[in-house]
Amino acid sequence: MRLWSLNPRHLDRMGLVACWRESLLAQAVLAGRTKGYRNHPQLNRFRAQTDPLAAVGCYLEGLGREATARGYHFNTTLILRPCGQTPPPLIPVTTGQLDLEWRHLGAKLAQRSPQDAARWEHDEPSPHPLFQPVPGPVEDWERG
């Protein structure tokens, strides 16, 4: 499961679709609707929120907005608890985590999406709108 801390605008088509599907799985886990992935470490940052389903709902909405901007149709009616009028507080993410994900994304784009890799080379990493960068190393929940 890869729930990118990076802004979805950085992802290629395959990355955006995969992130959407994995985020829906994360939502199902947080809602108690599946037995798999219950202990996945990337869910810790959502579980730590006052309303984990609202947090993952806002995360999904960010992916949905990016998909719409690209002309894709993600079924946002699948979001159990959308942000609504009062979005949850921003979730901190370390600059070390963003840097690691940026490099990881660059390697993926180089393999599967040369046009996106060329765009990536001239871009700067930015976080998903739900996340607030804070100084620090790679997050404890990051595997490998």
The structure's pTM equals 0.94
Question: Which residue is listed with tokens 């389903």?
Answer: 53
Instruction: Calculate helix-pair angle for 13-30, 52-69, nearest 10 degrees.
Output: 160
**Euclidean distance between CA atoms 99 and 126, whole angstroms:** 10
Least Cα distance to 132 among 49, 74, 67, 16 occurs for 49
Domain boundaries, the chain: 8-134
Q: What is the pLDDT of residues 34-74, one digit of tens each?
A: 887 888 889 999 999 999 999 999 999 999 999 999 999 99
Dig out the tokens for 20 from the structure. 């959407």
Tell me the C-alpha to C-alpha distance, in Å, between residue 15 and each of 3, 7, 21.
10, 12, 10
Q: What is the pLDDT of residues 89-140, one digit of tens each?
A: 999 999 999 999 999 999 999 999 999 999 999 999 999 999 999 999 999 9
